[in-house]
Amino acid sequence: MKQPYRILLTEDDRDIRELVFELLKGEDFDCVQASDGLEAKQILEKEKFDLLITDLRMPRMDGVELLEWCRQSKIHFPVIFISANTELLPKEQLALEDCCAAIINKPMDMDSILRAIAEAKTRNHLLHC
């Protein structure tokens, strides 16, 4: 039996996190939630995932810092960033160049999340990174 596609969803806004989580569960993804990058890091130390969906700006550890920690820890998977900010900081722009599968601006269109996941699933992440 094929293993379900595992997604770690990291978002500090509880309402957005719950909405995206319910969408992903409804599409039969195995989804785990984290409220910020530090919680996501703790989860990633114990579990493996196929994809990370993370907000760019969060308290304690933001999405860029989380991505940097993943790469330093030899954890490689596609990343979909979500952000309410259309103007990116320089470090955020650099993070997008690191095999980011997509960036989705808030308010989010749920179809755009599903399209970004479908594209990430078909792309050979290690080959392109």
pTM: 0.87
Mean pLDDT within 14-23: 95
Q: Is the confidence at residue 127, as pLDDT, over 70?
A: no
Instruction: Give just the sign of the alpha carbon dihedral 85, 65, 20, 129.
Output: positive
Percent of the chain clearing pLDDT 90 (strictly above) = 50
- Structure confidence at residue 90 (pLDDT): 61
Pick 6-122's CATH classification: 3.40.50.2300, 3.30.390.50, 3.30.930.10, 3.80.30.20.
3.40.50.2300
Average pLDDT, the chain: 86
Check residue 5 and give its pLDDT: 93
Residue 82 has pLDDT above 70, yes or no: yes
Q: What are the φ and ψ backbone dihedral angles of 2, each rounded to 5 degrees?
A: -70, 135
Burial 51-67 (b: 16+ CB within 10 A, else e): bbbbbbebeebbbbbbb
**pLDDT at residue 125 is higher than 80:** no
Interatomic CA distance for residues 90 and 12, integer angstroms: 22
pLDDT at 73: 94
Residue whose token pair is 């984290």: 34
- Region 73-87 average pLDDT: 85
